[in-house]
Amino acid sequence: MSKTETINTETTEMATTISGRVDMYTDGACKGNPGPGGWGVLLQYGEHRRELCGGEANTTNNRMELLAVIEGLAALTRRCEIHVHTDSQYVQKGISEWIQGWKRRGWRTAAGQPVKNQDLWQRLDASVAGQNIVWHWVKGHAGHPGNEAADRLANQGVPSGQVA
């Protein structure tokens, strides 16, 4: 997986010095499904912004949506109130509604099928443990500045030569 980081703040220490509220905007992109894809994250703390992106040559949109949140959470090194904004109902409902049932059933869906992307769901589950997170679903491609920035980053993360 490739990963790049762009920091648009006066300091590169934002992730280690924050407390309070961080708004995290996440998105995934994929050219073909499966196909080359990217993930993007915008972290905002007051006037500070941190942008992250990366991608994989052969993936799915849902994997990139999940990876965006995982990578965004991994970038934070101090406890804070985190507001995650995603345009993926798969991610938002998965983490807030479905995951407890999947775990009770041994990572099986209500229909008894294996949960897709179990590896990433388990990583996300571990990442959110002990965190103070508020999940927000936002409509994609509707002009929301944070979501539009995350979408741009996700497309930037698609491996070279590919555009999602």
Residues 109 and 10: their CA atoms lie apart, in Å, by: 46
The residue annotated as part of the active site, out of 37, 71, 151, 157, is 151
The residue annotated as part of the active site, out of 13, 32, 46, 141, is 141
The residue annotated as part of the active site, out of 28, 38, 54, 72, is 28
Active site residue 85: no
Instruction: Count the neighbouring beta carbons within 10 Å of the beta carbon of residue 103.
Output: 14
The tokens describing 4, both together, are: 């790049």
Active site residue 51: no
Active site residue 151: yes
85: nearest Cα among 17, 157, 22, 130:
22
Distance of CA 150 to the CA centre of its chain: 9
Q: How far is CA 144 from CA 6, 29, 116, 138, in A?
A: 20, 17, 29, 8
The residue annotated as part of the active site, out of 23, 27, 51, 56, is 27
Active site residue 136: no
Per the DSSP assignment, residues forming a β-bridge with 42 are: 25, 51
The residue annotated as part of the active site, out of 54, 55, 87, 94, is 87
The residue annotated as part of the active site, out of 23, 51, 56, 65, is 65
Active site residue 140: no
Active site residue 119: no
Active site residues: 27-28, 65, 87, 141, 151
